[in-house]
Amino acid sequence: MDIKYELKDKTQRRTEPLIPNEPLPFGVLRTDHMFIMDYEDGEWQNARIVPYEDIAISPGAIALHYGQAIFEGAKAFQHEDGEIYTFRIDKNAKRMNKSADIVCIPNIPEEIQIEAVHALIDVDRLWFPQQEGASLYIRPFIFATQDSLGVHPSSSYKFMVILSPSGPYYPAGFTKPIKLLITEKFHRAAPGGTGSSKAAGNYAASLRAGEFAKKFGASQVLYLDTTNTYIEEAGAMNHFHITKDGEVVIPEFVDSVLRSITSESIIELSDKLEMKVTQKRVKIKEFIEDVKDKKITEAGGFGTAAVISPVGEYVFEDGSSLVVGNGEIGENTKKIYEYYTGIQTGKVEAPKGWLRKVERKI
Ligand code: PLP
Ligand code: COI
């Protein structure tokens, strides 16, 4: 791909590695530049890296009215050799195209998406946060730009990538287990819907439930399927639990559940972790009974932003609560977290192809 570079003047650009004041929030900071490519006249064109700034879009843009927009979330890590590596970015690129299919957006070849991400990180590499546990969060997204009030797929789009030097998604990081609200009031997705995509509208639809959860002191909602029988997801994470025998169970990837790259990775790592990792439909009633009977001793969520977030307690709308194990971070959860983050940060050998070095080109 031919990328045009319209970079900030050298004097305006970061010259030193980023040492932010503690604590570094998730998703707030931006780097100096962004990547943009347009879809016009039936093809993706005009790839460019430009200073990060507001962009002009038509007030009638389809994305603004009908939500034809999708995104991805990935991370890059700086290793001891000083180089930056993206983590499983090919999986994000593949899932972007799957989401694109679901909301009728034209695909972008995976290698082009990856090249865009790597070129942008290369330009802004000094923005890598030098704090323990921090990473460069990568946000690629596509949205419909055609000015039209008819409900139909847009004829034009923008593909963009922005970067955010970030700390943990949940402010306490891995130190404090989160709480989830078990409720039948809200559902994230339905069979035949868009739940298996990272469509922007799925997240708009989740806001009310997230705010409702906060009233009960919970970080998020544990989403059930529309029949309130099975566990589906935990906010913007896949859910998992671990039995007293050390088996990790992740709800099946039905079409109302996002196929988490973190979950897939833990499944692929089961031999290395020496843990049994299975997927099945998990009945909420059985789950609650098994937590009470201590047959389930650990639980949590898997996700790029949230990494591995232990859940210490589930709360209900009547104010009652259900503590998992002893409410602390369990040893299996810790083992998974350490192994997984060890791979990401280069301390544990990564399976082939999981990490890609950001080459120095600029
Ligand atoms: N489920 C939902 C609804 C999400 O938004 C995310 C975050 O991307 C995940 C699960 C976790 O997916 P991944 O591990 O690929 O980040
Ligand atoms: C991610 O984990 O990357 C996500 O996309 C979740 C997000 C909505 C913060």
Domain CATH number, residue 265? 3.20.10.10
pLDDT digits (tens, 9 = 90+) for 6-19: 999 989 999 999 98
Same domain, 88 and 136: yes
Tell me how far CA of residue 314 lies from CA of 124, 216, 322, in angstroms: 41, 10, 5
Beta strand 74-78 with 135-144 is antiparallel
Q: Is 183 in the pocket of ligand 1 (CB under 6 A)?
A: no
Where does the chain show beta strands of DSSP type E? 4-5, 33-40, 43-51, 69-71, 74-78, 84-87, 135-144, 157-166, 178-182, 220-224, 231-234, 237-243, 248-251, 277-280, 296-303, 307-316, 321-323, 355-357
Is residue 191 scored above 90 in pLDDT?
A: yes
Structural domain including 217 reads 178-344
CATH number at residue 88: 3.30.470.10
Mean pLDDT on 187-211: 97
Same domain, 182 and 159: no
Same domain, 153 and 11: yes
Same domain, 164 and 182: no
Is residue 172 scored above 90 in pLDDT?
A: no
Distance 267 CA to ligand 1 centre (A): 15
pLDDT score recorded for residue 64: 98
pLDDT score recorded for residue 170: 81
Same domain, 162 and 265: no
pLDDT score recorded for residue 315: 98
Same domain, 229 and 161: no
Same domain, 312 and 207: yes
H/E element, 360: none
Mean pLDDT on 29-43: 98
Same domain, 10 and 133: yes
Same domain, 160 and 195: no
Nearest CA to ligand 1 atom 1: 237
Nearest CA to ligand 2 atom 8: 236
Same domain, 254 and 133: no
Is residue 22 scored above 80 in pLDDT?
A: no
pLDDT digits (tens, 9 = 90+) for 278-315: 999 999 999 999 999 999 999 999 999 999 999 999 99
Distance 354 CA to ligand 2 centre (A): 19
Distance 81 CA to ligand 2 centre (A): 28
Instruction: Tell me if 355 is assigned to some domain.
Output: no
pLDDT score recorded for residue 283: 98
Tell me how far CA of residue 152 lies from CA of 61, 103, 105, 132, 148, in angstroms: 12, 10, 11, 46, 9
The total number of residues written for the chain in this structure: 362
Share of the chain above pLDDT 90, in %: 95
- What is the pLDDT confidence band of residue 158, given thresholds at 50, 70 and 90? very high
Is residue 113 scored above 90 in pLDDT?
A: yes
- Mean of pLDDT over the chain: 97
pLDDT digits (tens, 9 = 90+) for 47-62: 999 999 999 999 999 9
Distance 358 CA to ligand 2 centre (A): 22
pLDDT score recorded for residue 168: 84
Q: Is 236 in the pocket of ligand 2 (CB under 6 A)?
A: yes
The closest-lying atom of ligand 1 relative to the alpha carbon of residue 261 is 15
Same domain, 19 and 159: yes
